[in-house]
Amino acid sequence: MAKADDIYEQQTALPEDYSWDARGLALAKVAWVGQGSLRVAAVVLAIVAACWYVAESGAFGSVLPLLALELSVIILCLGLAFALASAVRGRLWKAGPSTRHDYSLWLFRRRSGRLPKQAASLLLGMARASLETGRIDGARRALERIDEGQLDQDGLKLFHLLGFVTCLCEDDCKTEDAEELLVRYEAVPRKAWEGFPDPDEARSWLGSEDARADAVAAVSRVRNPRGAHPVHALLLTLIVAHCLAFAALLYGINAEGGWKLRCGYATVGGLFAALFLLVLGIALAIFMWREGPRRHRRGPVGTVLSIVLVVATGILALALSFETFVNGVFAYDGTERVIASGVEDKYSGRTYDYLAVDWQGYDPRDVTTDWWRADSPLLMEKWSDAKEYDKKAVKSPSQTGTTSGTADSGGSASDGGAATSDLSSSADGTDASASTSEARMRTLATYLVDRGIVPKTGVFQIGADAKGNSYASLGTGTDTEDGKAVVVEYRILSNGETNDAQGQPSEEFVLEKWYPEDEGRDPQILGFYLVNESTSAVTDEGRTSW
């Protein structure tokens, strides 16, 4: 066997015949491998999240979603590490001091022992375990190697208690040395740990050999605060990580660029996020009540402050939960239909599934359909060309001349009642070019409404002027001129095909404001826009004249 003073010296190799406690050794290796694996996992997941964000950068409007995703990864890995440490700590306290000693010794001999703060904590644990097993000399040797400056307040108090009890248990203990150690113990106040013996009780051990057993027993009763249960820590970690990641996707999605979450993910993820926010709110309210002002400030003032915090926390949790439920569940209540699988994009080489999403109005018979493409279960991109693959487009029987929700979905081709009679028969007699141009007009209409360039009227009608040129009417509104209300109509007209600044084929459209009640007044040009023929991305040309 190795001498007691050898095993706490890192520069000295541990004797080969050292008899390890099997359980302590196993727990130490589990903790070591687990913590190391989680560090590696954190780095890998952070890189994966960053790469995925870069690959899908067009789907996001800013860098904030990436930061939120990275934060959720960090929280996930830190929470898992905390849950693992909590589980190991619980097993250690149920085991004997020999298990705790060899657990700390194995880690002390590894990299953890080379970090000053962790080394001091591990040595303190080994000194305590040695004292509890009657290895007084080993406890003294461990205490001699502890850097007191690396201990927190409770650790320092335990350090002085162990020094005092160790001195009492030595045969050559001097009363003045023990009294000095006792004074140091009394001088350090307890902060969070429990079970420290009362100073009067500790003083009663002086000069009494029969009290040594009582002193050692008192040391074994000192405990640090019981942390969160491993299962609770794990659940809390998953809840917070999911809420952050879902919020990053839900609010960071570039809707103006024609992107949305997949309906299935948004519905399920939104439901869980809303429930999780309620759970977090309840947990935080309970924590505020237990640990809030009423605990540290006695009297009615502390109670009132705690009640205010609890109520504010509850209201905030309800508001966030309701908003998440509305934006993540109600806003994505469409029905997805896969209309084509494995369609390759000739520009990027990526393979997509083409989707048709049916959106029901308040009237179950009023259904709006738009078309998307997706190559992941999380995101989908508006893609008007997917319409050509849809053999079961749902038709709306509305006869009001407008289609509710068209301006929101933008890419609908199922609002038969919202178009003129020419548009209603387009599925039978309109050529593919006109149909594609109409779909681009719808995409532009959504862009204009989302950016507040034109008011949201819910109208999209295809008509023709006196020369037979087709245009899309976005409905009427009112402007105020010289204190009078003037009726105006917004129209989109095609200006033919061209190339954008990158040389990509696009169709140019003109947005005009008409004055239907003033036939002699010329229309006003509001802007020129390009719609990419491949991606349906909209570009504002920034000009208002020919």
Q: DSSP character for 334?
A: -
Whether the model pTM is above 0.85: no
Residue 529 to residue 519: CA distance in whole angstroms: 26
Q: For the chain, what's the residue count? A: 546
Residues 6 or more apart whose Cβ sits within 8 Å of residue 272: 242, 246
289, 411 Cβ separation under 8 angstroms: no
Q: What tens-digit pLDDT sequence spans the chain (546 residues)?
A: 344 446 888 778 888 788 899 999 999 999 999 999 999 999 999 999 999 999 888 888 889 999 999 999 999 999 999 999 999 988 888 888 999 999 999 999 886 667 889 999 999 999 999 999 989 988 999 999 999 999 999 999 999 999 999 988 887 778 888 889 899 999 999 888 889 998 888 888 887 767 788 888 999 899 888 778 899 999 999 999 999 999 999 999 988 778 899 999 999 999 999 999 999 999 999 988 888 888 777 778 888 998 999 999 999 999 999 999 999 999 898 899 999 999 888 767 889 999 999 988 777 777 888 888 999 999 998 888 888 888 865 444 433 333 333 334 344 333 433 333 343 333 444 445 667 888 889 899 989 988 888 888 777 888 877 677 788 888 887 787 877 778 888 999 988 888 888 888 899 999 999 888 777 788 899 999 999 988 888 988 888 777
Instruction: Name every residue whose Cβ is closer than 8 Å to that of residue 225 and which is 6 or more positions away in sequence.
Output: 192, 193, 194
Token output for 57: 């950068």
CA 445 and chain centroid, separation: 33
Domain ranges of the chain: 1-111+229-261, 335-540
DSSP 253: B
Closest to 119 in 3D by CA, of 90, 89, 142, 85: 142
